């Protein structure tokens, strides 16, 4: 009932509240002196408070990058932990300015929710985790298996599709939160747990004995994870999109948190445009021209954020894979700043 009540409250705001002027997000954020960012809250590597209560993670860094671009201060962000169930409503109702919560960009979400996706920050895909003791080598052996899954996700739908397409029978046990699903899997209620592969690595760390579980090789879906904004505020959408592009361009150009001050003296036109030494790019998105300099100074380039949160510098040790730069065989491709 409690969950229902929160959902109800948000639905009511949506239905009856006079809509806040929708094209004013940047101004609202500046006036408030703080960015309000919807995050995950329980997913290691992506968005979770550390023991001191500071939010850390890949999605969190993205919000901090935007705070750096606007305020030159990564602390001016308030994180709101959201479940799969209330994430979109929270954005629609104006409770948050931006949703950065391992959210898959799909056509139906893009076209029916009144929301827009602003660039793929992480190319992911859905995988399965099983106990080693089951001796399963492939997801195709899972016919008849009980699978724990979180509801309200693309995961839930892909799972049913995959089993149907491969003519396997399925016993799904669906939970409202990842916490509950993982706990049930850990107690043996299910043979397998399924979610985005990135999530599997994060959630595995929470199990009683992480080394007793393996991630199966099959990736059964495309999960382009993207930050989300309300539809109809193009300035804000530009700002969010170009924050990601700036971080990618920085990596492509070899600009890091360490060397960004030296790079200001570079005479490469690409570097100079990105860092604001040339052109009016910051102003065109409502900021000062050193916006990208601030981002890189505060959180580093795309690769640095990746490695620190989910890659080799983190307990997750996820390889760059699809998220390597296009020049290194991946899909991340910084759009030109010019």
Partner 1 sequence: MSKMLQLPLRSRQQWASIALQAALVVVIGGLAYGAFINAADNLAKAHIASGFRFWDNTAGFDISQTLIGYSPSTSTFGRAFWVGLLNTLLVASLGIVLATALGFTIGIARLSRNWLVARLAGGYVELIRNVPLLLQILFWYNAVLKSLPDLHSSISISGGAFLNNRGLFLPRPEFADKFDYVAAALVFGIVATLAVRIWARRRQERTGQPPRTLSFAFGLIVVLPLLVFFAAGAPLSFSFPEVGRFNIRGGTEILPEFAALLVALTIYTAAFIAEVVRAGILAVSQGQTEAAQALGLRSGSTLRLVVVPQAMRVIVPPLTSQYLNLIKNSSLAVAIGYPDLVQVFAGSVLNITGQAVEVIAITMAVYLFLSLVTSLLMNLYGRTVGIVER
Ligand X SMILES: N[C@@H](CCC(=O)N[C@@H](CS)C(=O)NCC(=O)O)C(=O)O
- Beta strands 223-225 and 122-124 are antiparallel
53 binds, among partner 1, ligand X, none (CB under 5 to 8 A by kind): none
Q: Which does 137 bind (CB under 5 to 8 A by kind): ligand X, partner 1, none?
A: none
Rounded CA separation 313/311 (Å): 6
Report, in Å, the least distance between residue 100 CB and partner 1. Answer: 18
Binding site for partner 1 (CB under 8 A): 1, 3-4, 7-8, 10-11, 14-19, 22, 84-85, 88-89, 92, 108-109, 112-114, 134, 142-146, 151-153, 156-157, 159-161, 163-164, 170-176, 180-181, 184, 187-189, 191, 230-232
Query: Closest CB to ligand X among 196 and 252?
Result: 196
Of residues 133 and 280, the one with the C-beta less far from partner 1: 133
**Three-class secondary structure of residue 214 per DSSP:** strand
Task: Give the Å distances, CA to CA, from 224 to 102, 118, 153.
Answer: 9, 11, 13
How much is the CA Rg of the chain, to the nearest whole Å?
21
What tokens were used for 61? 């860094």
If contact means CB under 5 to 8 A according to the sort of partner, which of partner 1, ligand X, none does residue 196 touch? ligand X
CA 254 to chain CA centroid, Å, is 24
Identify what 52 binds: ligand X, partner 1, none; CB under 5 to 8 Å per kind.
none
Residue 175 binds which entry of partner 1, ligand X, none, CB below 5-8 Å type-dependent: partner 1
For ligand X, which residue has the nearest CB? 199
Q: Which long-range contacts (CB under 8 A, 24 or more apart) does 309-314 make?
A: 309/45, 309/46, 309/56, 309/57, 309/58, 309/60, 309/61, 310/45, 310/46, 310/58, 310/198, 310/201, 310/202, 314/45
**Which lies closer to partner 1 via its Cβ, residue 151 or residue 266?**
151
From first CA to last CA, the distance across the chain in angstroms is 52
Tokens of 304: 């640095």
Q: Which is nearer to ligand X, 196 or 251 (CB)?
A: 196
334 contacts which partner out of partner 1, ligand X, none, CB within 5 to 8 A by kind? none
* Shortest separation between residue 171's beta carbon and partner 1, angstroms: 6
- Where on the chain is the footprint of ligand X (CB under 6 A)? 40, 42-43, 83-84, 102-104, 150, 153-155, 177-179, 195-196, 199, 223, 225
Partner from partner 1, ligand X, none binding residue 42, C-beta < 5-8 Å depending on class: ligand X
Decide if 191 contacts 119 (C-beta within 8 A).
Answer: no
Nearer to partner 1 (CB atom), residue 61 or residue 203:
203
Cα–Cα distance between 277 and 267 in angstroms, integer? 10
Strands (E), 197-286: 213-215, 223-225, 228-230
Cβ closer to partner 1: 157 or 331? 157
């Amino acid at each position: 009932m409690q969950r229902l009540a929160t959902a109800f409250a948000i639905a009511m705001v949506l239905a009856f509240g006079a809509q806040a002027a929708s094209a004013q997000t940047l101004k609202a954020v500046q006036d408030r002196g703080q960015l309000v960012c919807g995050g995950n809250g329980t997913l290691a590597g992506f968005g979770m408070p550390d023991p001191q209560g500071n939010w850390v993670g890949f999605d969190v860094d993205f919000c901090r990058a935007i705070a750096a671009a606007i305020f030159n201060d990564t602390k001016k962000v308030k994180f709101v932990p959201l479940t799969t169930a209330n994430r979109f409503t929270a954005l629609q109702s104006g409770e948050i300015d931006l949703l950065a919560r391992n959210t898959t960009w799909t056509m139906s979400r893009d076209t029916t929710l009144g929301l827009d996706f602003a660039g793929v920050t992480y190319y992911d895909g859905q995988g399965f985790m099983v106990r080693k003791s089951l001796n399963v080598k492939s997801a195709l052996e899972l016919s008849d298996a009980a699978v724990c899954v979180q509801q309200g996700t693309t995961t839930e739908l892909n799972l049913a599709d995959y089993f149907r397409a491969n003519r396997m029978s399925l016993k799904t046990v669906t939970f409202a939160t990842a916490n509950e699903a993982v706990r049930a899997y850990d107690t043996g209620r299910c043979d397998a747990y399924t979610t985005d592969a990135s999530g599997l690595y994060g959630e595995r760390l929470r199990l009683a004995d992480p080394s007793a579980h393996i991630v199966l090789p099959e990736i059964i879906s495309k999960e382009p994870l993207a930050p989300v904004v309300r539809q109809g505020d193009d300035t804000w959408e530009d700002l969010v999109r170009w924050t990601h592009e700036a971080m990618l361009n920085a990596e492509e150009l070899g600009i890091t948190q360490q060397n960004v001050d030296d790079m200001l003296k570079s005479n490469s036109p690409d570097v100079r445009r990105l860092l604001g030494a040339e052109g009016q790019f910051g102003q065109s998105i409502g900021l000062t021209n050193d916006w990208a300099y601030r981002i890189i100074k505060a959180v580093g380039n795309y690769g640095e954020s990746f490695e620190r949160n989910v890659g080799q510098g983190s307990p997750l040790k996820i390889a760059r894979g699809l998220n390597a730069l296009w020049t290194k065989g991946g899909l991340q491709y910084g759009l030109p700043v010019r």
